[in-house]
Homo-oligomer: A and B are copies of this chain.
Amino acid sequence: MDSLETDVVVVGAGLAGLSAARALAAQGRSVAVLEARDRVGGRTVNEPIGDGKIVELGGQWVGPGQDRILGLISELGLETFPTFGDGLNLIERRGKVRDYRGTIPKLNPVALAEVGMALKKIDRLAAKVDPERPWASEHAHLDRITFDTWMRRNVRTAAARDLMRLAIQAVWAAEPEDISMLHMLFYVSSAGSLDLLLDAEGGAQDSRVTGGTQLISNRMADQLGDSIYLEAPVRRILWSGDRVFVLADGIQATAAHVVVAIPPALAGRISYEPPLPPARDGLTQRMIQGSVIKTMSIYPEPFWRSAGYSGQATSADGPISVVFDNSPPDGSPGVLLAFFEGKAARDAAGLTRGERGQIVADCLARLFGERAARPDNYVEKVWAADEWTRGCYGGYLPPGAWTSHGHALSEAIGPIHWAGAETATHWAGYMEGAIQSGRRAATEILSAGNEGTR
């Protein structure tokens, strides 16, 4: 058992934890980052696919307005490139595949009008939800209903409901009945509009990072040097007065503060002494990790491009709900990214890798023709099976939780500070939010005054 003493212990070496550590180190604080995995990056991870190329099995997109992550990418000497979107997009519904351009697919005009009106209503409601205090908003009563209930009241046609369901799956990796309407509004409010969340060009899926988003964490970790401890899952946090003791496998650390930068669902599995107050513990009981399986089918070249397709597709028939061209910047090899989301991901989690690969091949063939059914390679990540994530894209709250326990999401408890994309108020759930949350936790500690503990 190694022992160490430091100003601040950070639990989790994802973007939030590393951002916190970096902000603290920049102000002269000593830090130790304890990470359960054998790598940094959390929910961002690069997977080599040969020839020095990689695919990203986790978070990968950035977009305008996400100033922290864009600034960090540039500061670390990394570059972005636009998500491939030239050509026709596809939508599949009731066995038919149609092509279209932009974010909103071709459907009957009534359905499209309904979707447009629903998006506007949601944006109008979200504009009045302060992401710092959703429970105090004039729309807080919408925490009593699921998004599904709201949708059934506000969207009548089956086609429009199918599109809305796809939007929920794409953004939250959950089903409309899983999510509190107030949670949805919080999330939209933190980003600006639902369109922004859904859009590729100009939205949350606008651009990608050359070399893969895990490089962001890798480079931050390089700067932090030997302050990072891998394969050190934290099991217990004990505190008393102004000292906190953090026990991980193989390491025990003493500090003045700890930043817990992992999703609330996992933070609740650490044992705390004294036990956390009911509000915080109850929050961790209520925040659920989304359900997504990210798959990549790899071909010698992006054959759909020459046929005039962007590689972007969405299917209401499933089980694959969303597809993107995810080829490297030079277009070689060709990569189709396909998501199982929500119910589809839960069902597919019980299958074998081979069975999932076959499902993906079948879905891609329906969209892009038989050629798509024969990739050279198939890689995937079942995020709910990953012990140190237990679901992606992130945590969401069911009805009743924001209004009863929301205040405990990021309120520090003694020397324990909370970070992670779930605790963000700007682009909550995104890489941008993760960075914001880590820096906010660092600011809490720095503004607590000179610790004088070493």
**A-to-B contact residues, CB < 8 Å:** 143-146, 148-149, 174-178, 235, 265, 268-269, 271, 275, 277-279, 281-282, 285-286, 288-289, 291, 343, 346, 349-350, 382, 384-385, 387, 390-391, 398-401, 404-405
Contact = CB atoms under 8 A, between A and B. Distances in A.
In the A-B complex, list the 10 residue pairs whose CB atoms are closest, starting with the nearest. Answer: A278-B384, A398-B398, A178-B400, A144-B177, A275-B387, A278-B349, A177-B400, A269-B269, A285-B288, A144-B148
Contacts of A176: 144
A146 B178 CA distance: 10
A343 B277 contact: no
Nearest to A407: B350
A124 B211 CA distance: 59
B346 A282 contact: yes
Contacts of A235: 235, 271
A400 B289 contact: no
Most buried by B among A145, A146, A350: A146
A318 to B, nearest CB: 15
Contacts of A286: 288, 398
Nearest to A388: B275
Given A149-B149, A279-B346, A398-B399, 4 more contacts: A145-B148, A145-B177, A178-B401, A346-B405
Nearest to A179: B400
A32 B235 CA distance: 24
B291 A349 contact: no
Contacts of A390: 278, 281-282, 285
A246 to B, nearest CB: 16
24 contacts: A143-B177, A144-B146, A144-B149, A146-B400, A148-B399, A177-B399, A178-B398, A178-B399, A178-B400, A269-B269, A269-B271, A275-B387, A277-B349, A277-B350, A278-B349, A282-B291, A282-B346, A282-B391, A286-B288, A291-B404, A343-B404, A346-B405, A398-B398, A399-B399
A399 B346 CA distance: 16
A349 B279 contact: yes
A387 B285 CA distance: 13
Most buried by B among A278, A391, A401: A278
A279 B265 CA distance: 15
A231 to B, nearest CB: 14
Nearest to A349: B278
Contacts of A148: 144-145, 399
A281 B149 contact: no
A180 to B, nearest CB: 9
Contact of A281 (B384, B400, B401): B384
Contact of A278 (B143, B177, B269, B382): B382
Most buried by B among A144, A275, A390, A398: A398
A175 B404 CA distance: 10
Contact of A385 (B144, B275, B382, B385): B275
Most buried by B among A148, A174, A349, A400: A400
Contacts of A279: 346, 349-350
Nearest to A286: B288
A258 to B, nearest CB: 18
A145 B400 CA distance: 12
A346 B278 contact: yes
Contacts of A387: 275
Nearest to A404: B346
Nearest to A282: B384
A245 to B, nearest CB: 16
A187 B349 CA distance: 28
A385 B280 CA distance: 10
A269 to B, nearest CB: 5
A391 to B, nearest CB: 7
A79 to B, nearest CB: 35
A238 to B, nearest CB: 13
A350 B390 CA distance: 30
Nearest to A270: B269
A348 to B, nearest CB: 10
A385 B278 contact: yes
A178 B268 CA distance: 20
A385 B277 contact: yes
